Structure 1
Amino acid sequence: MRIIISDDHPVVLMGLKAALQSYGDRFRIVGEARNGKELIQLLAQESCDLLITDFSMPGDPPAEDGLAMLSRLRESYPQLPILVLTMLSNPALVQGMLATGVRGVVDKMSMTKELMLAIDVIRAGRTYLSERTRKQIENVSIAGEDAGTLSPREAEVVRFLAQGLTVSEIARRTERSVKTVSQQKRDAMRKLGLDGDKQLFEYARSSGLL
């Protein structure tokens, strides 16, 4: 099985590569990328049977990160199975990943235990979610829509705001208008009952957006 791996942390790339190589000749890593730009260039040059990529890989151009990057990959490579390996655990973002066609989401903290299982599930044509991720989504479903649940796009706006980006920068990164991003920020803060940017950062940190 030919695999391309992508992560902006060299240590994670090394760990992922070592984990895959421990299964002998079952997998062959045919390329590595450290940001969205490198990944898109690599996929244009090298075919693979599975892409394992991080979700948050800030870089230039700004659109090649997060949901925008995954949407672009799905548009360019509709048949390519994508497995996201991430530290982010927010249910809204995970649902956004699945909406782009991602076939699996694995928590980096559980990579050693769940990576092989996720690959087997994906190869069987099914979708895999880490145990922690599944539980969080189930909890949100039980709580219902009145529990301040953000949409995937609202969650991504909050993630970027907590990273220190301005509304204009987020608009460029997500290829949305400033008006749209501003509205999504207001909607997110209203749903969460937040009064300012400090509370927004605290929410992002506590809810798996950072």
Structure 2
Amino acid sequence: MINVVIADDHPLVREGLKKVVDQTTIDIKVIGEASDAGELLELLREKDPDIVILDIAMPGKSGLDVLKDIKEYHPGLPVLILSMHPEDRFAIRSLKAGASGYLTKSSISEQMVSAIRKIVVEKKRFISPAVAEQLADRVDVNSNKPLHEELSDREYQIMCMIGSGKKVNEIAEELSISKQTVHTYRSRIKDKMKLKSNVEITRYALKHSLID
């Protein structure tokens, strides 16, 4: 039996994931659920799952930050990242941070069970064709690294939020950080990317398909 813990702040998403597991398998069991980082880390002190399915957009700490905590305290525990974003936005960052796979929520019903088995049973990473293409591009010595890849995970997250039109107070509330901290990150983003305003950040994000 493959034991799974699900971490997503939306109850309907968690129910959907459990339904996929219950209706399509007899060898995979959901043994715990968490709605935020604190609940998840507490749950992992009590349970011993074979894999964690983790939403990248958790409240407070981002999924990538939570992933790093899991890798620190449970280094052998594989994590499958779920995201509403296409692979080209967060997949490589997730894999670099220690994830064993990245799955878009639109692909859950078709690929989640296969991803779990590949990661837990075969001890391999789950990599979609789109991610494999990105990895191939990374080893192309002639490719120029875009500026946004120089950003930290949190800077990248905030850049995407600014680019999609969110105000400082909205970002602060969603990420559970102060408005001053958001201002600090925005200044770093502008410095690193040689951009002068939120409008330029939005243009850059649109040009590189980082926002919808």
**Separation in structure 2 between the aligned mates of residue 80 and residue 178 of structure 1, nearest angstrom:** 35
Q: Where does residue 108 of structure 1 map in the other structure?
A: 105
Structure 1 residue 9 and structure 2 residue 10: aligned?
Answer: yes
RMSD: 3.2
CA distance in 2 between counterparts of 1:184 and 1:149 reads 9
Q: Equivalent residue for 2:158?
A: 157
1:115-154 residue pairs with structure 2 within 5 A?
A: 115-123=112-120, 124-136=122-134, 138=136, 144-151=143-150, 153=152, 154=155
1:187 match: 192
TM-score normalised by length of structure 1: 0.77
Q: What amino acid sits opposite 1:113 in the alignment?
A: E
Contact kept? 1:57, 1:66, Cα under 8 Å: yes
Which one-letter code corresponds to 1:145 in the other structure? N
- Cα shift at 1:10: 2.2
SS at match of 1:128: coil
Aligned mates of 1:185, 1:46 — CA distance in 2: 43
Assess, with a 3 A threshold, how the Cα gap between structure 1 residues 177 and 155 changes in structure 2: closer, same or farther: closer
Aligned to 2:209: 207
TM-score of the superposition, structure 2-length normalised?
0.76
Alpha-carbon offset, residue 158 of structure 1: 1.0
Gaps of 5+ in 1: none
Residue 28 of structure 1: aligned partner: 29
- CA 1:19–1:125 in 2, change beyond 3 Å: closer, same or farther? same
CA distance in 1, matches of 2:145, 2:95: 22
2:87/2:130 contact within 8 Å kept: no
Contact 1:89 1:133 in 2 (8 A): no
Question: Are 2:90 and 1:93 equivalent residues in the alignment?
Answer: yes
